[in-house]
Amino acid sequence: MTVKELMDYLSGFDDDKKLAVFVVDTEKDVYYPAKHYCGVTDAEHPMLIFEVGDSEPMDKLREECQEDE
């Protein structure tokens, strides 16, 4: 993904919305919610680092997404 693609995607949301990040393992059908993240400011290109929590079943995430609709 390029910076432009990410900015285009994010431009569809209000600036004050929180960012949700999930790392998924589709083979095991689990996800890892992001606990903490930071941006590296002195890198050659944009870099985000995420610390993830324990795995959760994907069904839980699917249910939460359906509740938000």
List pLDDT tens digits, range 19-64.
Answer: 888 889 999 999 998 889 999 999 899 999 999 999 999 987 788 7
Q: How many CB atoms are located within 10 Å of the residue 35 CB?
A: 11
More confident residue, 69 or 3: 3
Name the domain count of the chain.
1
The values of phi and psi at residue 6, to 5°, are -65, -45
**Structure confidence at residue 38 (pLDDT):** 92
Look-up of token digits 């910076």: 3
Measure the CA–CA gap between 56 and 1, rounded to whole angstroms.
26
**Structure confidence at residue 25 (pLDDT):** 94
Tally of residues, the chain: 69
Measure the CA–CA gap between 60 and 10, rounded to whole angstroms.
25
**Structure confidence at residue 48 (pLDDT):** 92
Give the range of the structural domain holding residue 43, as residue numbers without chain letter: 3-8+17-68
Cβ contacts of 5 within 8 Å, gap of 6 or more? none
